[in-house]
Amino acid sequence: MLCAICQETINDCVSCYGCKNHLCYGCAGLEEKSYRRLNQDKKSAWRCAHCKNTKNETSINEVILKEIRDIKSRVNSIPELLEDVKTIKCELEELKDACNENNKRLDEFDTTIATMEENVSEINHIKDKLAITRVDFDRIHH
């Protein structure tokens, strides 16, 4: 058997779970002793450096993909958000209109009160004049 990396003949080897290549201990980065200490599960699940890196790349890609999906779903909700903003803007406009309307009514009310006050003072004026006229009238008849 040949090592997949250094091409040296090997009797005892480490096989990669990922690429199924057979590597010598040196190329596997393992000490024969420590490899032998691993249990069968760990031995069969062992991966060479290349496959470990690929695995990491895959998981990084998965993380990036997940983030892209998250961003996409957020981007998808932007039209909804815009719709909300539009609604809020409309409601604000309506509120502003209502406020303006109320202000207008208050102004009108003020004007009405001012007119009424003028009328009242006019009436008082007329009342005074009437009182004077009555005094004059009484004086003439006595």
Residue ranges that bind Zn ion, judged by CB under 5 A:
3, 5-6, 16, 18-19, 24, 27, 48, 51
Cβ closer to Zn ion: 12 or 91?
Answer: 12
> 45 and 17 in contact (C-beta within 8 Å)?
yes
The CB-of-77 to Zn ion minimum distance in angstroms stands at: 42
Query: Which of 24, 31, 20 is closest to 10 using CA atoms?
Result: 24
Q: Which long-range contacts (CB under 8 A, 24 or more apart) does 124-127 make?
A: none
The CB-of-79 to Zn ion minimum distance in angstroms stands at: 46
Cβ closer to Zn ion: 9 or 40?
Answer: 9
The CB-of-27 to Zn ion minimum distance in angstroms stands at: 3
Cβ closer to Zn ion: 29 or 97?
Answer: 29
Task: Give me Rg for the CA atoms of the chain.
Answer: 48
If DSSP codes are grouped into helix, strand and coil, which group holds residue 12? coil
The CB-of-14 to Zn ion minimum distance in angstroms stands at: 10
Give CA–CA dist 31/120, Å, rounded: 112
Cβ closer to Zn ion: 5 or 38?
Answer: 5
